[in-house]
């Protein structure tokens, strides 16, 4: 397991509206791939239920890496598309990891 | 929107195994209700996809409140049931919120 102490978690909580499912899925996959290529990227976890409520956590080495990803031009363009088309509401929280632990079935 | 700066986010990332769906759902609902009654509770967000991969973020006023929830006896008992039955793997990260923002469709 990655020791995430000191990493920055960007917690994205969103309500999709169901509009343009194909375009959304394509953009989401492209953004995951683009995030993974950024300096300081430390992983991404994402889940969305049948009610279209979803949570994505991206993990970054530090605050500078998280801010650089926020400023990325393609990411900014996709955010605009998200507000124009795909989301009814979202919340972003940026948080510094204090500790983490993992359990895996033996 | 709640200003979450200074709050503590407990990020629970889990892979369910599909075993005992009814028992799991009942326990999850009971734990959400019990968390909501704890001092320092500031909300919970949860999403799980059809692949049974899920993320739950519980929000707490401070580290002491998050630790108290971790130590809660019923919560601990449910964690044991989770390891015995419901999860293949999970990761918990505790993180202090630096800032947050929200967008709502106008």
What residues of A are in contact with residue B96 (Cβ under 8 Å)?
95-96, 98
ipTM above 0.90, yes or no: yes
User: Which residue of chain B has the CA closest to A105?
Assistant: B88
Residue A40 contacts residue A68 (beta carbons within 8 Å): yes
CB contact under 8 A, A103 and B88: no
Q: Which CATH number does B8-52+61-96 carry?
A: 3.30.70
> What confidence score (pLDDT) does residue B2 get?
84
CB contact under 8 A, A57 and B55: yes
What residues of A are in contact with residue B62 (Cβ under 8 Å)?
none
Q: What confidence category does residue B56 fall into, taking pLDDT thresholds of 50, 70 and 90? A: very high
Quote the minimal CA–CA distance from A42 to chain B in Å: 14
Rounded Cα–Cα distance for residues A86 and A17 (Å): 6
pLDDT over 90 (residue A2): no
What residues of A are in contact with residue B47 (Cβ under 8 Å)?
47-49, 53-55
Closest CA to B50 of A106, A43, A74, A49: A49
Residue A86 contacts residue A71 (beta carbons within 8 Å): no
B98–chain A Cβ distance below 8 A for any pair:
yes
pLDDT over 90 (residue A1): no
> What confidence score (pLDDT) does residue A105 get?
95
Q: b/e string for A11-27 if b means 16 or more Cβ within 10 A?
A: bebbbbeeeeeeebeeb
Rounded Cα–Cα distance for residues A76 and A45 (Å): 20
Identify the helix (H) or strand (E) that includes residue B25.
helix B21-36
Residue A9: φ, ψ to 5°: -100, 125
pLDDT tens readout for residues B8-40 = 999 999 999 999 999 999 999 999 999 999 999
CB contact under 8 A, B91 and A101: yes
Rounded Cα–Cα distance for residues A47 and B45 (Å): 11
Which sequence spans correspond to the domains of chain B?
8-52+61-96
């Amino acid at each position: 397991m990655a020791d995430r102490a000191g990493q920055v978690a960007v917690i994205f909580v969103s309500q999709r509206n169901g509009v343009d499912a194909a375009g959304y899925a394509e953009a989401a996959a492209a953004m995951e791939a683009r995030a993974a290529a950024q300096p300081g990227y430390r992983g991404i976890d994402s889940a969305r239920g049948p009610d279209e409520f979803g949570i994505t956590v991206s993990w970054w080495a530090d605050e500078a890496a998280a801010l650089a990803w926020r400023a990325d031009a393609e990411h900014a363009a996709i955010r605009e598309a998200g507000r124009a088309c795909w989301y009814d509401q979202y919340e972003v929280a940026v948080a510094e990891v204090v500790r983490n632990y993992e359990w895996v079935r033996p």
